[in-house]
Structure 1
């Protein structure tokens, strides 16, 4: 039940966050963000790679990965397309979108790169999610995983003591 509530709040958060942002301006900014992100990883820009963007959201790293075979998953992907002007699957012909959770990932295809960015702390079953991400890699493949964290003392203390952060269950 908590996870379903969190998903409702997640979709509501995106709708509110993007409400006053011009779709093209936002997507241009986000593409630039992902370009810098890849550069900071000291990762050569991937080209002609099989890539999984696990928990992609409406503007995940998939938007910057043209020239690759991208599989992008998110349990809210259909809702993003229905409710957000900022996301349209047809704008990303290099990406194959799947509405599914990390716990449900089970592709026959294996990936050179798996991105899981600010997602792992949103899942119901963290152990199954880690297992699925690692299992999705080709031998010698790379998993890039990140989470957002609370950097200020007061929010850290509050979130440790009280379940106030509904979006991040772990």
Structure 2
């Protein structure tokens, strides 16, 4: 099957996404079979059932409506074969759900090397998260290097904000302009970036703002780092949900 061209954006649907997905599976195949490839510490963390929650998530927790001792429901969406979020915290129990469209392929690879004892990824798309889980189903949503791999990032972000409880939180982290850097290969078809401090989505010279969706919530912290030799620049938002999402209001300027 020919890979659809983005010059006709109407073809960028689930079928087109699936045609481009094997490159993503190949990357994770190398990572799994080599137990981390160039990132062995990453593999060790993701396969450790006692791994502590990632510091970014820990930093967000005090800003959320949580009670000490409660079970915190966390969604890792676009998780890849294994979640990076972690499982252990001194104050809270953690109930982790990991979702990725390629979960069946990833689980087959994990079975082949005997990985057990940690949460396995289940099938799911950004675009169906609200229908799959329902509104307000999670205390925290973790979205790391994945929204710009989706079919429809605007719908994806709306869904992520919708499945978080009011008083819960979203962590959105990305490397700017991955599609431009990757020459629109594989699943890199969208760019997330900052434009004068505003979150934007771009593709082949076209641009729209996503900032209105964030402005409906409380941005606890925005971090911009990296860009030194050998380290990609990264943008990370820690967000507290304070209101239900209204896409029409978010689009008005």
Q: What is the TM-score normalised by the length of structure 2?
A: 0.52
Count of aligned pairs: 158
Counterparts of 1:127 and 1:56, CA distance in 2: 19
| Alpha carbons of structure 1 residues 22 and 7: separation in structure 2 relative to 1, 3 Å | closer
* Cα distance per residue 1:80-114 (max 9 Å; x no partner): 110234675x522xx47430111111213611110
| Alpha carbons of structure 1 residues 54 and 161: separation in structure 2 relative to 1, 3 Å | closer
Tell me how far 1:147 sits from its aligned partner: 1.3
Is the CA contact 2:150–2:187 (under 8 Å) kept in the aligned structure 1?
Answer: no
Partner in structure 2 of residue 98 of structure 1? 122
* Cα distance per residue 1:62-86 (max 9 Å; x no partner): 4x12531122110111111102346
Partner in structure 1 of residue 71 of structure 2? 48
Mapping of residues 1-170 of structure 1, within 5 Å: 1-21=15-35, 27-30=43-46, 35=52, 37-38=54-55, 42-44=59-61, 48-62=71-85, 64-66=86-88, 67-84=93-110, 85=112, 88=115, 91-92=117-118, 95=119, 97-106=121-130, 107-108=133-134, 110-149=137-176, 160=180, 163-170=183-190
Any stretches of 5+ residues in structure 1 without a counterpart? 151-155
After alignment, is 109-118 or 34-43 more displaced?
34-43
Counterparts of 1:146 and 1:86, CA distance in 2: 29
Rg: which structure is higher?
A: 2
Report which of the two has the higher share of strand.
Answer: 2
Tell me how far 1:40 sits from its aligned partner: 8.4
* Cα distance per residue 1:5-63 (max 9 Å; x no partner): 3311111111123332379975324479x75841586345996201111111112224x
Helix, strand or coil for the counterpart of 1:91?
Answer: coil
Moved over 4 A (4+): 22-26, 29-32, 34-37, 44-47, 85-88
- Whose RCO is larger (CA < 8 A, sep 6+)? 1
| Alpha carbons of structure 1 residues 72 and 29: separation in structure 2 relative to 1, 3 Å | closer
